[in-house]
Structure 1
């Protein structure tokens, strides 16, 4: 497995959950032959949060019920992992049949609330397509959400210019229409493989 899965730039996440790491390394999540992503059904809690969207409005997980959702933690100043992942997800959703495109939603959660204002977050997610929502919150809210999905994030010391790097996981969590956690997408998965899984989830709930 590529070390970049748990790295932002070259910095590892020393406090990342040992449980999740061991599961990913050993394949303990299981991987049904029908799925390209890791099958996490029954191993992660349902989609639930109370955050703020890129319009500055409070939102909860239930506000986006009825669609297959992909949850991804990141930040707008991310130099590589975030734009690469969001470009791939936009490629995937754009390649779906027109009648299926609105059935999938990407939830991009910024873990850098100090810099990622609603306006900045809105400009960022708009660049990556229509079916993506920018979310953020207070650091305690974000810590609670990250813990819920057995991951974490961290901040480097600011440089002379005040800028700093943010360490975070590159995992993408996929939830079905009912909000149940179903799949974990890793960076190495091809766009067509992700597309296959999304179409399968859409069709099983149709």
Structure 2
């Protein structure tokens, strides 16, 4: 996994030993489904959150039950990895075709101070109004959720104008229709690999 800030890739070494161990263990597991992404089945908890959607309404995991969900943590002022990843995921859904109606992109803000529902709505709609949902919450909400899924992030020092960037990990988490964590796509994962595994998840009933 890489960390990002200021338009530069891999700006910090991997600092989450637990996630590193998780990925090593997952890679060694038998994968009869022929996954092309990293299998994390049984290594991370089910999808569970209580946040505010980009329509201003409270939302939790029940609203996504029955959908395959691709979760990505980022923020609207992100200069590089966030727009690149959201564009890639949107392109993947277009590749998948009509089956993508049962898939969602959940973009969770790691910058709650600036990312209110209105800004999240405008941001995700610019990439995929049909499938993307912007989710935000309090600092405590985001911190607890990030810890639940081993997501690392940290706000950088503010500049003279009061602006700042947020260093954050860039993996995409894929949850099946029952809300089980199944796969991780690294930031460099090819769209074809994501589409391949997304089709497999969409073809299952749970």
Q: Same fold (TM over 0.5)?
A: yes
Q: What residue in structure 2 maps to residue 187 of structure 1?
A: 187
CA contact (8 A) 1:36 1:189 kept: no
Structure 2 CA distance for partners of 1:13 and 1:50, relative to 1, 3 Å: farther
Unaligned runs of 5+ in 1: none
Query: What is the number of equivalent residue pairs in this alignment?
Result: 199
Which residue matches 1:28? 25
Flag the 1:201–1:176 CA change in 2: closer, same or farther, 3 A: same
Secondary structure at the aligned position of 2:178 is classed as: coil
Give the Cα–Cα distance (whole angstroms) in 2 for the partners of residues 155 and 187 of structure 1.
20
The question of whether the paired residues in 1 share the 8 Å contact of 2:37 and 2:197 is answered with yes
Matched, 1:61 2:58: no
Q: 1:23 to 1:8 in 2, by over 3 A?
A: farther
Q: Specify the alignment match of 1:113 in structure 2.
A: 112
Quote how far apart the aligned CAs of 1:131 are.
0.3
Counterparts in 2 of 1:1-206, with a 5 A limit?
Answer: 5-9=2-6, 10=8, 11-12=11-12, 16-24=15-23, 27-30=24-27, 32=31, 34-98=34-98, 100-129=99-128, 130-205=130-205
| Deviation (angstroms), 1:8 | 2.9
CA distance in 2, matches of 1:167, 1:21: 18
Distance in 2 between residues matched to 1:175 and 1:198, nearest whole Å: 10
Query: Aligned-pair distance for 1:13?
Result: 6.8
Distance in 2 (CA, whole Å) between partners of 1:119 and 1:177 is 28
Cα distance, 1:23 vs structure 2: 3.8
Once residues 202 and 59 of structure 1 are traced to their aligned partners in structure 2, the CA distance between those partners, rounded to angstroms, is: 23
Name the CA distance, whole Å, in 2 between partners of 1:12 and 1:189.
Answer: 19
Question: TM-score with structure 2 length normalisation?
Answer: 0.91
Unmatched segments (≥5 aa) in structure 2:
none
Q: Distance in 2 between matches of 1:108 and 1:37?
A: 20
